[in-house]
Amino acid sequence: MKTIKACFTLIRPDLSFAAGICAVMGMILAANEIPAITGMLLAFYSVAAISGGILAMNDYFDVESDKINAPDRPIPSGAVSPRTAFLFSILLILSGITLSAFFGVWSVLVALLLGMLGFLYNRFFKKTGLPGNLIVSISVGTTFIYGGLAVGHPFSPLVLFFAVLVALIDLGEEIAADAMDAEGDALINSRSIAWQYGSNHALRVSTG
């Protein structure tokens, strides 16, 4: 039960749930009606699983900085081993991609893209500052396009509008989060805006 609880914490359920809701909203906006419940549930669980897997993988790669920024997280606190967290993240991402097959080949490709972006961010781009922030925000915006794709209209004006809107909001949140995590990020030589120019400057950019 302790491991199950730790794995549930790894996926940051509020963020995974929000990602799934974005996909469902993309479906509704693109279709201009309420789609079939089965389709909405599949889209929700597909995106939520991929998001949860990426977030769990983030903890795996962030264990050193989390010892400073968030020592109570499952891995640094010892509630779950790094190996278990990594395998759990892969399982979630693969299950999300598998569920996307219900909507066709293009949905699978977008799901694969989300999974790849998540891995690349966690493994290579988290330390790059703004480029890493952009990868995360683009991934978040893409959840709306995934939802639109599920009903055959990925580029409807409303879907694109909300994709850009949510991406910009998330970009601001990412930059602000870097400002709060500056001390721990220094340990991994992160080139975040906060570390290079100061937290106050980063918060002004985030607000803008």
Calpha distance 48→183 (Å, rounded): 30
Helix (H/G/I), strand (E/B), else coil: 189: coil
Other CB atoms within 10 A of residue 123 CB: 11
Other CB atoms within 10 A of residue 31 CB: 19
pLDDT (tens digit per residue) in 137-160: 999 999 999 999 999 998 899 999
pLDDT (tens digit per residue) in 147-204: 999 999 988 999 999 999 999 999 999 999 887 766 666 656 677 888 788 888 889 9
pLDDT (tens digit per residue) in 64-119: 777 877 888 999 888 899 999 999 999 999 999 999 999 999 999 999 999 999 99
Structure tokens at 181: 């995590």
Calpha distance 178→199 (Å, rounded): 8
pLDDT (tens digit per residue) in 27-77: 999 999 999 999 999 999 999 999 999 999 999 998 877 787 788 899 988
Q: Say which amino acid occupies 93.
A: I
